[in-house]
Structure 1
Amino acid sequence: MFMNTQFDKLFINGEWIDGGSENTIPNQNPFDHTEIGSIQAASKEDLDKAYQSAQEAQKSWANELPQTKRSIMEKAVSVVEENKDLIIEWLIKESGSTYMKAAGEVTVSINSMKEAATYPYRMEGKILPSQVPGKENRVYRAPLGVVGIISPWNFPFHLAVRSIATALATGNGVVVKPATHTPVTGGLLFASIFEEAGLPKGLLNVVVGKGSEIGDDIVTHPIPRLISFTGSTEVGRRIGELAGKNLKKTALELGGNNVFIVLDDADLDQAVESALFGKFYHQGQICMSINRIMVQQGMYDKFVDAFVSRVKELQVGDPSDKKTQIGPLIDQNQVDRILKDIESSKEMGAEVALGGNAEKNLLYPTVLTHVTNSMPIAKNEIFGPVAAIIPFDSEEEVVGLANEHPYGLSGAVHSSSIERATNVAHQVETGMIHINDEPVNDEPHMPFGGEKDSGLGRFNGEWALEEFTTVKWVAVQHKRRDYGPFIEKR
């Protein structure tokens, strides 16, 4: 088990301490609204100490042997594996994850950590030719220094660790600010994990605080060179502005309005099953979740009938019950927001084929038909268990509909012709898209990220190495250089 589970404190410079703010962060179970705990929030002074600690510890960590870094990362993987049941329990009670989703999240997190454990031996440079006689050009890869990480509440464990593990493995120090809905699974768990793994003090710091109190400061503080953020486009735009003013790098994975395109020659059963998972996994609270299901005329009625029939079978309720497939949304504000979009869309002509009702934070699986691209349920990122099904006539039309909105994170195209589906996929403006599958995919060695309003940069694999490191050109003049007529003895 973990050496330390003081999940009511901050973790700064290797110590578990109370926050210096007058505010407290309540931690509430989104299903039954019971209080899990309460954390004294971080102050600006706490944040400064965290960054100072990371900066100081990083100086020696950057020069640590690669086998030492890798050993600590591998030990951290072992700690997660040994404590898998505890982590799953926390994900269920803190983020409203179903057991299936929580278990899947831990598995994909372990895979990300294993990929990160390879990075210390992948910090490669280059030797390149020079245009100058007797000169050798060398390019060295180095850590950025300190990375600030702001983690989200929907997949808090995975979306935090993919940046934490990458940053540490590439020689950086880290300060994490988890979402206030998920301070433990998005931050404090990692303090315990890496503490037990033997990470040197000060390299990883976790500050739990209100965005209104330290949100801007975690970005504008002079120490961090990269801000890694996963969350809404609205907040990401603000972070990008603040980072740009201070000449900092950003890795931003933001909102999505992902399309699921069903062409008229698709395998109906396969498309329905893919749509079921891609729409309702974790109640649709995933940046990659299907937002708009677009079905070609001729297939539309058959798809709707088959899809509604399968949605009716989904089990809704307590996420701690292993049979539950649909648990609660994170809070009542999310439920109210989605119900409002449903009502507005109904007024514009959408029809409710199933659902449309809620009990507290439980929003029942909902299917809307006869949706158009201009309706709120199609224009806005749903982030909930509501499927909006849009008919289309031609491939040209569906590509136009797909690209009409300003997001471009993930997507899917179904067809019995791989070439036909791939041709459509190439025309959709998105960072990721999948043929005869659903949009919720993440593999630790593949580039993860979006286009347009869905963010900047890429996570995972060699692309994460580029984001979390920098390069330095060192030119070596082996022979005395002739500077020509500029330098002449007189």
Structure 2
Amino acid sequence: MAKTSTVKYPSWNQLSIGGQWKQGSSDRYATVTNKFNDEVLAEIKLANKSDIDDAYETAKKAQADWANASPHQKAAVLEKAAQILAERRNDIVQLLVEESGSSQLKANVEVDASIGDVKEAINYSFQMNGTILPSVIPGKENRVYRNPVGVIGAITPWNWPFYLSIRVVAPAIATGNAIVLKADSQTPITGGLMIAKIFEDAGLPKGVLNVVVYDVEEIGDYFVEQPIPRVISFTGSTAAGKHISGIAGKNLKKAALELGGNNVLIVLDDADVDQAVAAAAFGKFMHQGQICIATNRIIVDRKVYPEFVEKFKSTTSKIKAGNPAESDTIIGPLINKKQAQRILDLIEQSIAEGAKLDIEGKLDGNVMTPYVLSDVTNDMAIAKNEIFGPVAAILPVDSEEEAIRIANASDFGLSGAVHSGSLERGINVAQQIETGMIHVNDQTVNVEPNVPFGGEKFSGQGRYCGEWALEEFTTVKWISVQKEPREYPFS
């Protein structure tokens, strides 16, 4: 039975399967709450294994016709979806604020990024090209065709729920695939249901996009193990990504993984300290640090270390934390109390290990005001782990070489940043950091629709966005054509 009879958005209570909005078949419910004030936003009856089978089977049927639709038909749906997304910006922003604890700033950035990815995906519809290659066999022609993989299963997280789902849905659809999207049960509206409605209103054929929400305790690994999907796209923690990758590999499915990060922002001795402080504060505290590409370790040369720490503390003290519905709030609530306690434990352990507490924050409900820890070393808990909260860890170093060594002494390699007064020096250091993305004289939280997004080491495999997304969601097929009779050594 549902837990409560009063919800703010009672219409968001169904799953989208096969072009139909219907209740899940599980006996379990997800109660979706406002992360700031605990108001109940929606209650959703969850999917069971039969619903997942239904979603995948209808996706497989719909995909055959969608793959044969013309590029212009696919592009028209995406163009309409981008238009609808822009028209519904205020609704999306409001729900991101309520459902995920996003600030107004972060929610609008998320909408902008989503529009950008949908518009970029329009190009993919016209890039499903064939190529003719020469052959060593006389009279033969080799043709290579780019085709959709078929059906994609996507699992997306709660921190940037709308964008990180759009990032998979748009290119999958553009390249002629069908998709089953598993939205996180903490953010199912912005993470999936609202997206299904947008594409439905944009004219996407029934069954091409399906959205389910389920309880992992009930479903286990079945979403990945189900035989139909050929690609599993997962964005989330490294531990979960390793598990999903193992299951996908056992079933010979391709896994596209964007996982955790322990991202560095390096401040060299010739850096513009004021600019570095501004960048570090943004990269650290945007969405209260709950971003895979958030700044995790701030590595500062000792020559500018005292100045940097004092100015960073001053900037941090001015950042407003509280109700994300207020336009000047930067730090809103963490996703849940379990995450908050995990962060507090990391802080306590790091102080015991010798970190200096420069700014002590506090926890009020799910809102954590900023903490600043200095004199951090790379072996402390706050430096070894992805924080995913508003806690700045500042590490002093004695040289450029030490900064590079410390930056690379991590199992992760997702994003990063380097600040230097010399662009060439900054670029040279950036090239030595083992990471999928890095930014010179900027901060770590960057995404653009036309450049590759992804990590190295334990931060994932594969790339999203731009032409690189084609590699994740398509396959190639070789067809040779013998135009003249071929002579064989025996017959």
Question: Fold match, TM over 0.5?
Answer: yes
Residue 107 (structure 1) aligns with = 112
Q: Could you tell me which of 126, 134, 157 is aligned with 2:131?
A: 126
Find out whether 1:404 has 2:409 as its counterpart.
yes
Shift of 1:356: 3.3
Partner of 1:78: 83
* Matching residue of 1:448: 453
CA shift for structure 1 position 214? 2.5
Secondary structure at 1:252's aligned position in 2? strand
187, 192, 206: which one aligns with 1:182? 187
Matches within 5 A, 1:277-292: 277-292=282-297
Q: Deviations over 1:386-409 (max 9, x none)?
A: 000000011211111111110000
Match of 2:332 among 322, 327, 347: 327
* Kept in 2: contact 1:148–1:219 (CA 8 A): yes
Q: What residue number does 2:266 align with?
A: 261
Contact 1:29 1:96 in 2 (8 A): yes
Question: Gaps spanning 5+ residues in structure 1: where?
Answer: none
Task: Sort the Cα spacing of 1:470 and 1:62 in 2 relative to 1 into closer, same or farther, 3 A.
Answer: same
From 307, 318, 321, the equivalent of 2:323 is 318
Structure 1: distance between partners of 2:87 and 2:216: 33
2:10·2:42 contact (CA, 8 Å) conserved in 1?
A: no
> Does residue 41 of structure 2 align to residue 36 of structure 1?
yes
Residues 1:386 and 2:400 are matched in the alignment: no
Opposite residue 388 of structure 2, the aligned amino acid is F
CA contact (8 A) 2:268 2:300 kept: yes
Q: Deviations over 1:294-339 (max 9, x none)?
A: 0001100000000000000001110001111110100001110000
Q: State the 1:104 CA deviation.
A: 0.9
Please state whether the residue corresponding to 1:165 is helix, strand or coil.
helix
Q: Deviations over 1:234-283 (max 9, x none)?
A: 11011100000000011100000000000010001110110011000000
Q: Which of residues 25, 32, 38 in structure 2 aligns to 1:27? A: 32
State the partner residue of 2:279.
274
* Higher mean C-alpha displacement, 432-441 vs 350-359: 350-359
Match of 2:71 among 66, 74, 81: 66
The counterpart of 1:221, out of the listed 226, 248, 251, is 226
- 1:351-374 deviations in Å (ceiling 9; x for gaps): 111123211211111100010000
| Residues 334 and 366 in structure 2, CA contact (< 8 A), matched pair in contact too | yes
Which of the numbers 93, 104, 114 marks the counterpart of 1:88? 93
By how many angstroms is 1:196 displaced? 0.5
Q: Check the 8 A contact 1:151/1:186 in 2, yes or no.
A: yes
Match of 2:425 in 1: 420
In structure 1, the partner of 2:249 is 244
- State how far apart, in whole Å, the 2-side matches of 1:141 and 1:342 are: 50
SS at 1:55 equivalent: helix
Query: Gaps spanning 5+ residues in structure 2: where?
Result: 1-8
TM-fit CA distance, 1:213: 2.1
Alignment pair present for 1:148 and 2:122? no
Q: Any conservation in 1 of the 2:77–2:202 contact (CA below 8 Å)?
A: yes
- Distance in 2 (CA, whole Å) between partners of 1:105 and 1:136 is 47
Separation of aligned partners in 1, 2:345 and 2:141: 64
Matched letter for residue 225 of structure 2: T
CA RMSD of aligned residues (A): 1.0
For 1:89 and 1:356, the matched residues in 2 are separated by: 27
Deviation (angstroms), 1:424: 1.1
Equivalent-residue separation in structure 1 for 2:10 and 2:250 (angstroms): 38
- Residue 104 of structure 1 aligns to which amino acid in structure 2? V
Q: CA deviation at 1:6?
A: 3.2
1:195 matches 2:206: no
Q: Residues of 2 paired with 1:215 and 1:471: CA distance?
A: 32
Count, aligned residues: 483
Shift of 1:144: 0.3
Greater mean deviation of Cα atoms: 348-357 or 311-320: 348-357
1:32-65 CA-to-partner distances (Å, cap 9, x unmatched) read 1111111001000000000000000001100001
How far apart in 1 are the matches of 2:217 and 2:474? 30
| C-alpha distance in 1 between matches for 2:483 and 2:381 | 65
> Does the residue aligned with 2:467 lie in a helix, a strand or coil?
helix
Separation in structure 1 between the aligned mates of residue 232 and residue 130 of structure 2, nearest angstrom? 24
Q: 1:156–1:186: 8 Å Cα contact kept in structure 2? A: yes
Aligned pair partner of 1:357 in 356, 362, 373: 362
Whether the 8 Å contact between 1:47 and 1:214 is mirrored in structure 2 is no
How big is each residue's C-alpha offset from its partner over 1:191-228, in whole Å with a ceiling of 9 and x where there is no partner?
11011011111111111111222241111100001011
Q: Deviations over 1:4-35 (max 9, x none)?
A: 99311111111110100011111011111111
Partner of 2:374: 369
Is the 1:6–1:16 contact (alpha carbons within 8 Å) kept by the matching residues of 2? no
Q: Which amino acid aligns with 2:437?
A: M
Query: SS of the counterpart of 2:24?
Result: coil
CA distance in 1, matches of 2:433, 2:71: 41
